[in-house]
Structure 1
Amino acid sequence: MNASGGTAAGVWGRAEQQDYRSRVRGCLLGGAIGDALGAGIEFASLAEIRRRHGEAGVTDYVSAYGRRGRVTDDTQMTLFTVDGLIRAQVRRDTGAWHPPTDIHAAHRRWYATQRDWGPDERKADDGWLAREEWLYAQRAPGRACLSGLADAAMGTLDQPKNPDSKGCGAVMRSAPFGLLVGWEPQLVFQLAIECAVQTHGHPTGYLAAGAFALIVHGLARGEDLEGAVRRAMAHLADQPGHEETTDALQRALDAVRQGPPTPERVESLGEAWVAEEALAIGVYCALVAEDMRHGLLLAVNHGGDSDSTGSVCGNLLGTLHGETALPPAWLAEVEGRATMLELADDFAMEMTQGPALHGPAASAPAWLGRYPRA
């Protein structure tokens, strides 16, 4: 069965809705905080980080793209993934149901933010997120993401975009698929990989994205992190070309038992410019985290793609512990917090109460204004 067969969640009690909303908020905001912590040191070696910031490395936000707390393309694309998932649910009322198409359209709206000066040219059916002015900023977007989305043709598993690319650009935007808790795991995985090949066609590039979505899915359903990782690995075992992703996750699990966590141990897992390494580092740091602060600082203080590993770790820890685990001072300063809270709450409301918002016969006009069916 392909990704068009997702199942709807059952009836949600009030406590379940509150827990779910907290996990969705935690996932998006935790990822953004990790992203912002790593943004200012993304291209620095560990020795350079220590020379500039002390032996402990960064212990707080540092200036990036003009101020502290700025996020990168990792967070930008994650938000548009959420937007696309909501739009897919809304558009289902029309009888059209192919979520990869809606995600592709959402990511093309992100691509427009990298090309246009601002939201003035956006059409009404682009929805509210595409009109958020702060998103119109280039924050070192990946080449594969830009080239894969530069035209309207959509990559597929049979004909992927950038078939040799296994950069981490598909992994770092894939956490929202895991928040589809009403879907069966195999459908979450399928949707994530169908959307990953729209920019990253190497098996490791898209399978790592699918594995990340599965791990988040397990956490959002209340599983422990190691169990979620092992279940993702079991699912990977049936996929052609899974070996690099599986081996990287196994190394992350093994590293937990090799001694106290250090930046050098993080670096033993790679530099995270490629998908499997970014996933492994994010998973390892979340596994050994004493708390959100400890895990995120470990995830960014290494020589490599610090913002992406911080983002992955933040998505995981935020989903695992919910929004109340987020360090308040970092939360207060992260760029775009109001937008992320609004989007997270919309996503949680759509997934738990969608039939009360829209349907084939009648819909709330305000909701369709935010998430048009077009």
Structure 2
Amino acid sequence: MTEAITRADRVLGSLVGGAVGDALGYQVEFESWARIQDEYGPGGITELRYNRISDDTQMTLFTVEGLLLAQPGAEVEAVREAYLRWLQTQREPMPPMASQGLAAQPWLYARRAPGNACISGLAHGARPGVNPNSKGCGTVMRSAPFGLRYGPERAFELAERCSALTHGHPTAGSSAGAFAMMVAHLANGETPQRAVSATMLHLRKDLDRSETVDALQQAYELAGNVPPAPNTCAPLGQGWVAEEALAIAVYCLLGTDDVRAGLIASVNHSGDSDSTGAILGNLYGAAYGHGALPPEWARQVEGREVIVALADLLGPVDETDAVAPQSMS
């Protein structure tokens, strides 16, 4: 009899899995598929040669911190303040004196190609309405914690609202919300197919979310016809914008339950490889737990001890009731 996957293992798996996919893809971010093949062979990058995570995991961890410190009903403001703390890590060489929480972690001060809209949106105060035409994937890659903390409806709402702190385009918000909703369904034990289908039904209630629905529909159809492999995601785009990055990850999630093969497929393409890998890693971990991740990758990924500590704190709360502040010490 197969042992049931605990929720704690799904939360840990999602956070570590996101970091693993991020690190795997960060090795080839900005490189074309042709260049990746020239450098690594016809199968592309298949090993974690360097364990460095990018801004994707950095911002995900600050999302966690914001939610853990949030007063009931003030989650968006708490996440905003957490993102502003992350912004300071991108401006300073090391933690200032008396820094606390994640801001006291020197390894998080590495500048790993942060997204322009994330930086500019935060620099302008991180208020809704900033960067109105931006729909980069920076909103999606940081939003898994909403789904690990809250039920599907609440996770969607908070991720969509927090998306607007840096990216004002509706598709950036709907894609972030859809991702968080999928993570919530998976963390609750739903199958990938059910999680994606339920999210697509939710998206179809609002015409402003049509770009996200259309991208996910393409991913669903491609997964049923083309098994994920290096560069098979090309028809879905390159992942620089929110709905494309989500679609690439969902295609791989639906196309294979082989976590290693899926992660490899998700990063081997001409595009935003670290973000597509991170998003898929979050989804795989929530679906199959920490034990399903390639063990040698999960053990060595940068910041593992901090990620594990945050996962231990990130228990679920009621969908309508926020959690009281918890200690980050």
Same fold, TM exceeding 0.5? yes
Deviation per residue, 1:317-346 (Å, 9 max, x gap): 000011111111111221111110011112
What residue is the counterpart of 2:55 in the other structure? 73
Task: State the distance in 2 between where 1:347 and 1:334 align.
Answer: 20
What residue is the counterpart of 1:170 in the other structure? 139
**Which amino acid in structure 2 is aligned with residue 142 of structure 1?**
G
Task: State the distance in 1 between where 2:327 and 2:248 align.
Answer: 39
Task: State the distance in 1 between where 2:30 and 2:40 align.
Answer: 14
Larger radius of gyration: 1
**Which amino acid in structure 2 is aligned with residue 75 of structure 1?**
T
1:347-362 aligned at under 5 Å gives the runs 347-348=314-315, 351=317
1:217-256 aligned at under 5 Å gives the runs 217-256=184-223
TM-superposed deviation, 1:255: 0.3
SS in 1 for 2:156: helix
Task: State the distance in 2 between where 1:317 and 1:304 align.
Answer: 21
Check if 1:338 corresponds to 2:323: no
> Structure 1 residues 142, 358: CA separation in 2 closer, same or farther (over 3 Å shift)?
closer
Task: State the distance in 2 between where 1:271 and 1:56 align.
Answer: 18
TM-superposed deviation, 1:122: 4.6
Deviation per residue, 1:101-153 (Å, 9 max, x gap): 00000111111100111112454xxx4221111000100000000011114x3
SS in 2 for 1:276: helix
Match of residue 109, structure 2, among 119, 130, 136 = 136
Task: State the distance in 2 between where 1:335 and 1:262 align.
Answer: 26
Task: State the distance in 2 between where 1:337 and 1:269 align.
Answer: 31
What residue is the counterpart of 2:91 in the other structure? 115
SS in 1 for 2:131: coil
2:23/2:274 contact within 8 Å kept: yes
TM-superposed deviation, 1:289: 2.2
1:127-206 aligned at under 5 Å gives the runs 127-151=100-124, 153-156=125-128, 160-181=129-150, 183=151, 185-206=152-173
Check if 1:99 corresponds to 2:75: yes
Task: State the distance in 1 between where 2:24 and 2:227 align.
Answer: 22
1:122/1:130 contact within 8 Å kept: no
C-alpha RMSD over aligned residues: 1.9
Check if 1:24 corresponds to 2:11: yes
Task: State the distance in 2 between where 1:251 and 1:358 align.
Answer: 40
TM-superposed deviation, 1:351: 4.7
What residue is the counterpart of 1:5 in the other structure? none
Match of residue 281, structure 1, among 241, 248, 255 = 248
Match of residue 260, structure 1, among 216, 227, 233 = 227
Task: State the distance in 2 between where 1:25 and 1:260 align.
Answer: 27
2:227/2:256 contact within 8 Å kept: no
TM-superposed deviation, 1:40: 1.3
Match of residue 51, structure 1, among 27, 35, 38 = 38
> Structure 1 residues 264, 116: CA separation in 2 closer, same or farther (over 3 Å shift)?
closer
1:193/1:206 contact within 8 Å kept: yes
The normalised TM-score by structure 2 is 0.93
Deviation per residue, 1:136-182 (Å, 9 max, x gap): 0100000000011114x3423xxx2110001000000001111124x
TM-superposed deviation, 1:20: 1.4
2:228/2:262 contact within 8 Å kept: no
**Where do 5+ consecutive residues of structure 1 fail to align?**
1-14, 63-67, 360-366
Task: State the distance in 2 between where 1:203 and 1:130 align.
Answer: 30
What residue is the counterpart of 1:364 in the other structure? none
Deviation per residue, 1:69-90 (Å, 9 max, x gap): 10000000000000111111xx
Q: May I ask how many residue pairs the two structures share in their alignment? A: 323
